[in-house]
Structure 1
């Protein structure tokens, strides 16, 4: 029972501290900017092996060996992914 009260008190203190820090619009903007930067760095497309999946000639991936044996999974996945991205871009531009 006592642990629940401690957890509740810690949660309330943390929530209060966050609310106090984010009451200023400049601080909110800083947090939003940092979150967007973090999200952008985590979803960087240049680091994704999916970008290499459509290029079976790349010799450092296992996918190239599978494609040389006749597997088209990586290539098909790459094509489907790029098609979905293209559709999203077309919808957002129109």
Structure 2
């Protein structure tokens, strides 16, 4: 399986509810770092999209309402999924 497909499958697994949002918010950016060089060679446009958007989106996920109330940029689970879905839909057009 290509790196691009593996990353998109990881996103899909989160969007389908198979992967915990908290886990995804940490694991996906790490996976991007680990696969960056290979993804850049395989699909540079997808690499740019994912690296430009996903680390920041993942860093803003906060499941605790109290913590979100103090930082307006923090995302609850629904907002997080919506942002990831936007990137995912754009990413699908690049593969």
TM beyond 0.5: no
Greater length-normalized contact order (CA 8 Å, ≥ 6 residues apart): 2
TM-score by length of 2: 0.29
TM-score by length of 1: 0.29
